[in-house]
Amino acid sequence: MLPAADITGMVLAGGRGSRMGGVDKGLQAFLGQPLALHALQRLQPQVGMCMLNANRHLEVYQGFHVPVHADVLPDYAGPLAGFLTGLTHCTTPWLLTVPCDSPRFPRDLAARMAATAVREHAQIVLAAGPEAGRDGALQLRPQPVFALLHRSLLPSLQDFVQQGGRKIDAWTAQHAQALCHFDAAGDDVHAFANANTLQELHLLEDSA
């Protein structure tokens, strides 16, 4: 098994929050505290150390008592900018990223992702979790912002973004990767539900 001490966790809270009206999504309340703090507290017991990626209200995020890093790329360049920021500052062999807007991710996320990395000899592990399709039926789909990344991938990601790349799957396809499956039967059906709007956030809170 991969020891938890070899993994740095990072909460991604650096987006524009466009579908929430431009608010800082990580600071919206979920069960009485900011989304990003809720995600951080859920992640901390699973890994060796944690940090947070944010591009606004850095002084507020610094009050969460973990290192806070703004994107190393300008203009809200998306999740890959968060990956790049995390790998740039990561001092452990592995980086595990989680988004701030999916506050119910599994409490054994890191352990299961790490086990998949070892078993599959993968440099990248992405979570695959239940998600409702257009017909409302649950389907197992990749959740690419839940990513376990080996630190050696930093030069590759730097080259990819310098060439204008912004899509996660286009970059991950270049490396040995694997999916870690979280099914609706054995896991929280809302484990990977993300709150893109305030209404979705309230619904997710009501179902908790």
Burial tier of 114 (Cβ tally within 10 Å: 0-12, 13-18, 19+): buried
Ligand-binding site membership of 13 (annotated): yes
Phi/psi at 61 (nearest 5 deg)? -65, -35
Q: Please choose, from the candidates 1, 8, 4, the residue with its C-alpha nearest in 3D space to the C-alpha of residue 118.
A: 1
Ligand-binding site membership of 167 (annotated): no
Ligand-binding site membership of 14 (annotated): yes
For 133, residues 6+ apart whose C-beta sits below 8 A from its C-beta are 139
Q: Please choose, from the candidates 86, 79, 95, 201, the residue with its C-alpha nearest in 3D space to the C-alpha of residue 143.
A: 79
**Which residues belong to the annotated binding site?**
12-14, 25, 53, 71, 101
**Which residues belong to the annotated binding site for Mg(2+)?**
101
